[in-house]
Amino acid sequence: MPKAKPPSRRKPQHLTVEALWQLQRLGAPSLSPDGAQAVISATAYSMKENKSSSRLWLLSTLGGEPRALTQCGDKDSQPRWSPARAGDGERSQLIAFTARREQDSRKDDAPQIYLINADGGEARRAADIATGVEAFKWFPDAKRLAFVSWIWPDTRGARAQTTRLKDWRERKESAYTTEEAQYRYWDHHLPQDRVAHLHLLTLGADEASAKVVDLFEGTPYELSRAEPDAHTFDISPDGRRIVFAFDPAPQKRMDGRYALAEMDIKTRRVTVIARDAQWDFSAPRYSADGNQIAFLASHQGRKHTMPAQLALWSRKQGWQVLSAKWDHEVNAPLQWADDGLSVLFTAEEEGRQHLWRWTLDKGTAEVVANGGWVQAFDACGDVLVTVADGVDHPAQVHASVDQQAPRRIEDFNDAVLKPIAMGHTEEIWISGAQGDRVQLWVTYPPDFNPKKKYPLLQIIHGGPHTAFGDAFHYRWNVQTFAAQGYVVASVNYHGSSSFGYAFKDSISGHWGELELQDVEAATDALLKKPWADRKRVFAAGGSYGGFMAAWMNGHVKPGRYAAYICHAGCFDWTAMFADDAYTWHAKELGAWYWDDMARVHAQSPHAFARHMKTPTLVIHGQLDYRVPDAQGLAYYNTLKARGVEARLVWFPDENHWILKPRNSRLWYGEFFGWLRRHDVDTQRAKPTARASTKPASRRKAQGLTDHA
């Protein structure tokens, strides 16, 4: 895979949609046992082919040119360096990764584990696992791996699972039948009648001699049904035990409260080590001596919005919460320092995400690497590697050796970005609802002149319990919006994360109220600026931001905003019960709709449809199970029935996010086209770079998300 080429125009000044999709997107790093190198996946996209390809790269932590480890493949991802083994000497170590490939004239039907020597060569399939691999971890002996696969719990043995899978694929019936409370997630139905089990893979000379054992076979245990990853379990340093998070409830739900259990690999005996009906436990990680386990604990019995806190289990003292007095939410993964005296993790703070170190004996947290937005990291000895982006740049990889200043160790996207001027982003604090300080990010066009007039575009984030951060967002990229000539405002309204628990929980039971006050306060503050054109004000949002766009249409005086854009927005909270997260509705809204319809309707945009008059672009994907597409269709139909100008963009092959290159280009084109249509002065404020808004049928033949 060659490095991405600069945009076709010689000296583009502003960020275009085409350039946005030429940027490579980086995965999480894995350090070699000596810390000298990191392996990372990089995904590139082809607008012509309408698809992506990924490959693995080796980066020296001391700097130097990155070296390609694999050729362009189909989603080469999750690379993990094998542990160091005594007596290895100079022998090349292995790097394991997941991929779908064709090997020995056989194409993988599901992701498999592949192995490649760190010094290069051909990758080989570690084993033929018919049910596929979701995630994996190395054992300390570098001879075994633990992996996650979806299997039929009433069927024993790998051969029987293979036969069962073959029969399933050859069935003539198409119905999905279930009695489970949780049966689909995000954009897919869970594999019918299957659950996620931990497996043990013992490597052989080739895939035929490898041995696979289902560690959960014959037990009631299973991992999370919501895309179980490598954070759901961990392997002890001596390789004798595995700790994992599981839902002890007989009926699995999205809001289940997980416990921790430990399995003795040799005897298969399972011991529940931490369980409390009021708490949800996750992301366990062994200390270097194996006598302690760091994990995340959230007091769900107190409130559903309670943050995940750092907790510790020890063999002598049981478990305790360490960060209860620290008003931040701790994110997975957790990683112990080599000395066993501190734990590394990421946590948000006021619209940024830093890498933190929690020192056990002091009970304090300190920033190790500043965001922007630290997406991923790895540490080994005195070497620390981070992957972080910012509002003005995509993800970059930095390495710090022996606590020296971090240095960048790759340049994947520099050629694309070199001729592009980014807009300046300003962090502003305003007085919002209840007189609280509210953070507002403002991104200006690259050639901003305060003596000129500019349109204002409010971008409202989803969640609601997330934040608009100092990050480079590909699906809602404020630099791309600003490059069209808009001043872009992004409010971290009440309910947003990273501003403390009270702020996050403040909107529960009365959605729309405080958030609208914050958005309106931001609009008021910016309209006082001499550059602001109050006739050219727009608002757009996705997911909960889409809910807010619909809510504003029913609550803000017509004419305040020239047009709205609602992407994957919640419209009717009773009909929203078709989503995959319905068990949270009463917690967020304050009641089940059958118990208090008035309260639910008081927070539902559809109940205020009679007030809606502002033109709206409605966008939705059919594969969106978080906000089912009927929400967008109902909103669009309502506007059409009321005679309100509206346009619908419906994607049959996209989920909550727009992920395919050509669909994304069309999305941005429709977005900008709608704004221009309702801009009273498009001739005075011509954008410098325009995406096509012509219908796909009129174009030449064209050759293929996280949380909105």
pLDDT classification of 695: cutoffs 50, 70, 90: very low
Q: What is the mean pLDDT of the chain?
A: 93
SS3 498: coil
Give the C-alpha separation, 585 to 596, whole Å: 12
Residue 342 has pLDDT above 80, yes or no: yes
pLDDT score of 474: 96
pLDDT score of 698: 35
pLDDT score of 75: 82
pLDDT (mean) for 290-311:
98
pLDDT (mean) for 213-224:
98
Residue 149 has pLDDT above 70, yes or no: yes
pLDDT (mean) for 47-70:
95
117 C-beta neighbours (distance < 10 Å), count:
15
Residue 691 has pLDDT above 50, yes or no: no
pLDDT score of 685: 45
Among 637, 631, 630, smallest CA distance to 612 is for 637
- Residue found by looking up tokens 């690259």 in the block: 446
pLDDT score of 461: 98
| DSSP structural state of residue 73 | B
**Per-residue b/e over 280-314, b at no fewer than 16 CB within 10 Å?**
bbbbbbbbeebebbbbbbbbbeeebbbbbbbbbbe
Q: What is the pLDDT of residues 567-621, one digit of tens each?
A: 999 999 999 999 999 999 999 999 999 999 999 999 999 999 999 999 999 999 9
pLDDT score of 10: 59
Is residue 556 within 8 Å of residue 549, measured between CB atoms?
no
pLDDT score of 102: 87
pLDDT (mean) for 293-298:
98
- Residue found by looking up tokens 């020597």 in the block: 117
Residue 604 half-sphere exposure, CB side, CA atoms within 13 Å?
23
Q: What is the pLDDT of residues 499-557, one digit of tens each?
A: 999 999 999 999 999 999 999 999 999 999 999 999 999 999 999 999 999 999 999 99
pLDDT (mean) for 177-202:
97
- pLDDT above 90 coverage of the chain, percent: 91
Residue 90 has pLDDT above 70, yes or no: no
Question: What is the DSSP annotation of 308-369?
Answer: PEEEEEETTTEEEES-TTS-S-B-SPPEE-TTSSEEEEEEEETTEEEEEEEETTTTEEEEEE
> What's CA 324's distance to the chain center, in Å?
25
pLDDT score of 694: 43
SS3 607: helix
Is residue 438 within 8 Å of residue 522, measured between CB atoms?
yes
pLDDT score of 87: 57
Q: How far is CA 186 from CA 190, 542, 574, 659, 662, in A?
A: 10, 15, 19, 14, 22
pLDDT classification of 158: cutoffs 50, 70, 90: very high
Residue 707 has pLDDT above 70, yes or no: no
Give the C-alpha separation, 670 to 503, whole Å: 35
**Which carries the bigger pLDDT value, residue 64 or residue 495?**
495
Q: What is the pLDDT of residues 23-44, one digit of tens each?
A: 999 999 999 999 999 999 999 9
pLDDT classification of 403: cutoffs 50, 70, 90: confident
Residue 303 has pLDDT above 70, yes or no: yes
Residue 628 has pLDDT above 70, yes or no: yes
Residue 355 has pLDDT above 70, yes or no: yes
Is residue 56 within 8 Å of residue 41, measured between CB atoms?
yes
Domains, in order of start, for the chain: 239-371 (2.120.10.30), 421-698 (3.40.50.1820)
**Longest C-alpha distance within the chain, in Å?**
77
pLDDT score of 705: 29
- pLDDT above 70 coverage of the chain, percent: 93
